[in-house]
Amino acid sequence: MALHQDGQPGDSQPGDNLPEDHRPGDDLPGVRHRYVDARGLRMHVAEAGEGPLVVLLHGFPECWYSWRHQLTALAEAGFHAVAPDQRGYCRTGGPQAADEYTILHLTGDVIALMDALGEQRAFVAGHDWGAPVAWHTALLRPDRVRGVIGLSVPYRPRGSSLPTRKMRAQIGDGFYMLYFQQPGVAEAELGRDLEQTFARVLYGASGDAPGGLPLVPPGGGFLDICAEPPPGQPLPGWLTARDMDVFAAEYREAGFAGPLNWYRNLDRNWELTAPWHHAPITVPALFVAGDRDLVVAWSGGRQMLPRLHDCAPQLREPLLLDGCGHWTQQERPDEVSRAMIGFLRELEGA
């Protein structure tokens, strides 16, 4: 997630095919793994197919594997799908300083990746935290983005007050994003038992779990607000024990400090994006989410959908998936892939 030091496209670094770094998810048919030099950041990418470039940006706490279904679907549809581990995550890793995880770093990394792959323009899709990165890449560099797709998190223009101040006033100090502001605390909690962490986070935020407010109880932690899969009952059809093992293996070495640093730049991002205050997204756009996603509920539910066009004039009709929770492209892979491919093909034919 940054650019080449020497400006040469397509360079990769030693370990390109990852023979010494094989992990449980690396055996997906048709998916290749390598490292690219994204302007000084050694970025791990999973990719499939050939054709127009589609960059797939994961969220928290996820990695390239979140796009496993779309990598192959997009490849079969004639696209070059590339899912990086973003800055601070898993095999890519990143700097220790929290202030090196601003939205300018993150969007710069997307442009850097495009340059490393030798592409002037690309489609950019993002889910969860990847969605704001995708939206801001389209906002800051519309000359490089052919179309943008946001999953779960809609585009929100810069507001009029510091985000953390607004969260405390409207939600309270227990809001999980405020809990994440404390260096070392959430890292220790989430890294204590990786299998348990991913079982609770993936199930707890899905459309199969009971809903609830994301408020950390006094003296508690983030996992206290994540429902456990019911003991003795099978997991939802979209989530397997292998999936959770893959996520745990990806996080075992790198941990959570880098990913949590994204949250520690909420106020800094607000300050840095002052020139784009209330600025709209001007490129063609698509938004897909689940109607049981807490992000959607907190944004106003179905009633917020018409308002999205005010912020993104070229937004296509938003797609809200019945019964789907937060993990949009994992819970409903076929529907999401169809919507994405339809949008991409429309723009390809324009």
Q: CA 210 to CA 201: how far, in whole Å?
A: 13
CB–CB of 100/285 below 8 Å? no
Is 326 an annotated catalytic residue? yes
**Cβ neighbours of residue 98 closer than 8 Å, sequence gap 6 or more:** 183, 261, 264, 265
**By three-state DSSP, how is residue 32 classified?**
strand
| Catalytic residue of the set 4, 58, 80, 326 | 326
Asked about 128 being catalytic, the answer comes back as yes
Exposure string of 269-287, with b = 16+ CB inside 10 Å and e = fewer, is: bbeebeeeeeebbebbbbb
168 CB-contact burial (10 Å; exposed 0-12 / middle 13-18 / buried 19+): middle
**Structure-token pair, residue 198:** 């991913």
C-beta of residue 324 within 8 angstroms of C-beta of residue 207: yes
**Among 233, 244, 231, which Cα is nearest to 202's?**
244
Task: Measure Cα distances from 339 to 30, 152, 207, 329 in Å.
Answer: 21, 14, 19, 11
Per-residue b/e over 98-137, b at no fewer than 16 CB within 10 Å? beebbbebbbbbbbbbbbbbebeebbbbbbbbbbbbbbbb
Catalytic, out of 128, 208, 243, 293: 128
126 touches 262 (CB < 8 A): no
Q: What are the residue numbers of the active site?
A: 128, 326
